[in-house]
Amino acid sequence: MPWCDSCSAYHAPTALDGGSCPTCGGVVTDNTPHDHEDDRTVGQSAPWHFWIVVVALAAYLLWRAIVGVMWALERF
Ligand SMILES: [Zn+2]
């Protein structure tokens, strides 16, 4: 949907005056949904099982770090 920043309003594609705003003549940007597929992907929250994997991985790496430090301390 064509959007005019100056008017803060949407305009019908057919009402555009040669690609510019029919009201103020300013620049109109096309805000059609297909231009915002990336925004939808970013804004979408991760599924719950994704966070279980993240937490499990973090706990595993933390455990490995502790074990590594303990192993190093025993060597000295
Ligand atoms: Zn305008």
From ligand 1's centre to the CA of 12, what distance in Å? 12
- The residues placing their C-beta within 5 Å of ligand 1, an ion, are 4, 6-7, 21, 23-24, 26
- Report d(CA 14, CA 20) in Å as an integer: 11
- The predicted model scores a pTM of 0.37
Per-residue pLDDT at 35 exceeds 70:
no
Please tell me which residue, 41 or 53, carries the higher pLDDT value. 53
Residue 9's H or E segment, with its range, is strand 9-10
From ligand 1's centre to the CA of 22, what distance in Å? 7
- Report d(CA 76, CA 66) in Å as an integer: 16
Per-residue pLDDT at 20 exceeds 80:
yes
How much is the pLDDT for 58? 98
- Report d(CA 5, CA 27) in Å as an integer: 8
